[in-house]
Amino acid sequence: MTALRVATVITRLEGGAGQHALRGALSLDPADVATTIITGSGDEQLDQARAAGLEVIVEPALRAPIAPASDVRALARLRALFAARDFDVAHTHCAKAGVVGRLAAHQAGVPRLVHTYHGFPFHEFQGAPRRQAYVQIERWLGRITDLALCVGTGVAVEAVRRRLIAPERIRTISVVAEGADQAGLGSGPSAAARRRARAELGLPPDATVVGAVGRLTYQKAPEDFLAALGALGRPGVTGVWLGDGELAGQVAAQARAMPQISVLLPGHRDNVPRLLPAFDVFALPSRYEGLPTAVVEAMAGGVPVVATAVNAVGDVVVPGETGLLVPPGQPALLADGIRFLLDTPLAAARMAAAARARLGDRFGAPALRRALTAAYASGGAVTSPGMINCPYRVSA
């Protein structure tokens, strides 16, 4: 039997979305599915994909920021690539690749289009006209999409509520998190794992550490993390943010301007799961999200979590049961959640244990493999055979 030819298109093969796309591709049997990853850029995940035997094509014109000239160039190049390679499925991830990739695949006649929503390009912190424009673009793209895979229930509910695609073409899937297949084992990070992680970060073994993981971007609200540390009023607490991004310089300057808090910014690290045991509390301050892999990995590692109540985070962080939720954009409330987990270690340990038990096998590679195998199956394309002209500018 000839392997199904799948083009996985993502703007950046990095971060949580990149991990999800790569782990999904690696979960599949290469005898059944031949995956080509098409991306604009990436980090060590590019090397991981190549080392695993996956074909990787880097298209520099595929960029995350709105850039009309690059967007048009990426559209033309992807359309030519799809036409020349005769793929069976185009599977796009995230906003920019979702627009450019789906439009190019549709114009090239790729038989089946699948898109994964890791979150949405629209959110409550935007102005209404811009938000509505993004919704309209996603609705149009939904007309040419055979199946939408939503990372978490909250994302799927939002896709239904916004009428982005027909409800019968929406599926809910989970992220694949390292250590999730061991979620029911043990009660938390071992003392040895904690010492090793803290030593690698240059922290003393007896430090009290509140950590966060993610790109330093507007979406992740790192300034709220710093503000929460300030509101916490605990000079003995060290805040650690693992990740890099366009706001790195700004966040570092803000941290220097707050001498009352202790903050460590190690930048991008490719061994995040090994460093998570350094944290006494994992904090997620994001303004908007899908379902961040780092949250699941923290919970799988037995680290108590306080997170903002956005999109699908509530799939895993059940208030008072598996962690604490606070509204986005409210660093004082985030500080209250952190303070509670630090001050009530028995309650924090109870929630962390419940979180590990709740994860079960939902976040392992086998679950994602089953979801992708079903998504790629040609149950009959729902898109029309003719071309549909996009009435909107191609951008993210």
Question: pLDDT for 159-171, tens place per residue?
Answer: 999 999 999 999 9
- Rounded percentage of the chain residues whose pLDDT exceeds 90: 77
DSSP state of 377: S
The residues near 264 (Cβ < 8 Å, ≥ 6 apart) are 201, 202, 203, 238, 239, 240, 241
- Rounded percentage of the chain residues whose pLDDT exceeds 70: 92
Check pLDDT > 60 for residue 395.
no
Separation between Cα atoms, residue 69 and residue 170, nearest integer Å: 32
Check pLDDT > 90 for residue 215.
yes
Residue 113 pLDDT grade (very low, low, confident, very high; cuts 50, 70, 90): very high
Q: Which run of H or E residues covers position 173?
A: strand 170-173
Helix/strand/coil for 319: strand
Check pLDDT > 50 for residue 396.
no
DSSP state of 301: T
In this prediction, residues 79-108 reach a mean pLDDT of 96
pLDDT for the residue numbered 65: 81
| Average pLDDT score, the chain | 91
Check pLDDT > 50 for residue 278.
yes
pLDDT for the residue numbered 385: 35
Measured between alpha carbons, how far is residue 89 from residues 97, 254, 385 in Å? 15, 45, 15
pLDDT for the residue numbered 122: 83
pLDDT for the residue numbered 9: 98
What burial class does residue 160 get, using C-beta atoms within 10 Å of its C-beta: 0-12 exposed, 13-18 middle, 19+ buried? middle
The string of pLDDT tens digits covering residues 117-136 is: 998 888 888 889 988 999 99
Check pLDDT > 80 for residue 390.
no
In this prediction, residues 339-361 reach a mean pLDDT of 93
Check pLDDT > 90 for residue 358.
no
Check pLDDT > 50 for residue 384.
no
pLDDT for the residue numbered 176: 72
Which domains are present in the chain?
A: 4-176+364-376 (3.40.50.2000), 180-359 (3.40.50.2000)
User: Torsions phi, psi of 54, nearest 5?
Assistant: -80, 145
pLDDT for the residue numbered 381: 44
pLDDT for the residue numbered 180: 62
Check pLDDT > 70 for residue 179.
no
The string of pLDDT tens digits covering residues 10-40 is: 999 988 889 899 999 999 999 999 999 999 9
Which comes out higher in pLDDT, residue 257 or 120?
Answer: 257
Check pLDDT > 90 for residue 334.
yes
What pTM did the predictor assign?
0.83
Strand-pairing partners, residue 36, are: 7, 55
Secondary structure of 70-87 in the HEC alphabet? HHHHHHHHHHHHHHHHCC
Separation between Cα atoms, residue 378 and residue 171, nearest integer Å: 15
The string of pLDDT tens digits covering residues 292-302 is: 899 999 999 99
pLDDT for the residue numbered 124: 82
Check pLDDT > 50 for residue 263.
yes
Separation between Cα atoms, residue 157 and residue 155, nearest integer Å: 5
Check pLDDT > 50 for residue 291.
yes
